[in-house]
A and B are shown apart, each in its own frame.
Chain A
Amino acid sequence: MKLFLHFAVLGFSNTYLFGPEEGGDAILIDPGVMNIELLNLIENNKFYIKHILITHNHSTHMAGIQTLKKIYDFDIYSAKPSMISGNAIQLVDGKTFNLNGFDVTPISIEGPSLDTFIFKIKNMLFTGDVLAAGVIGPTPNHQARPALLEKIKEKVVKMEGNPLIFPGHGPPSTLESELQFNPYFNGQRQLQSSNH
Chain B
Amino acid sequence: MFHAQTCCIEGCSHSAVSFRDTCFEHIEEKEKYLDELSIYFDSTDIIKNLNLTGVILKDRDLSGRKFYVCDFRGSQVEKSNLSKISMRLCFLTFSRFSDCNLNELDLKYTTWSGANMSDCDFTGSDLLHTNFNGIQTRNCSFNDSDLYFSTFINAKLEETTFRDCNLKKVNFCESERVNVDFKYSNYEEALFIEETIF
Contacts and interface: CB of A to CB of B under 8 A. Distances in A.
A86 B120 CA distance: 53
Contacts of B151: 133-134, 170-171
B93 A176 contact: yes
A134 B198 contact: no
B69 interface: yes
Interface string A162-183: 0010000111111011001111
Interface residues of A, number: 34
Contacts of A138: 196, 198
Given A123-B4, A134-B154, A176-B93, A169 B198 contact: yes
A188 interface: yes
A173 B198 contact: no
Contacts of A99: none
A123 B53 CA distance: 15
Contacts, number: 102
Interface residues of B, number: 32
B18 interface: no
Contact of B110 (A123, A171, A181): A171
Contact of B114 (A11, A177, A186): A177
B141 interface: no
A77 interface: no
B86 interface: no
- Most-contacted residue by chain B among A3, A11, A138, A177 (CB, 10 A): A177
A173 B134 CA distance: 11
B114 A181 contact: yes
B129 A177 contact: no
Contacts of B69: 2-3
Contacts of B49: 1
**Top 9 closest A-B pairs, CB basis?**
A134-B153, A181-B134, A177-B113, A171-B131, A181-B154, A181-B133, A133-B131, A169-B198, A134-B133
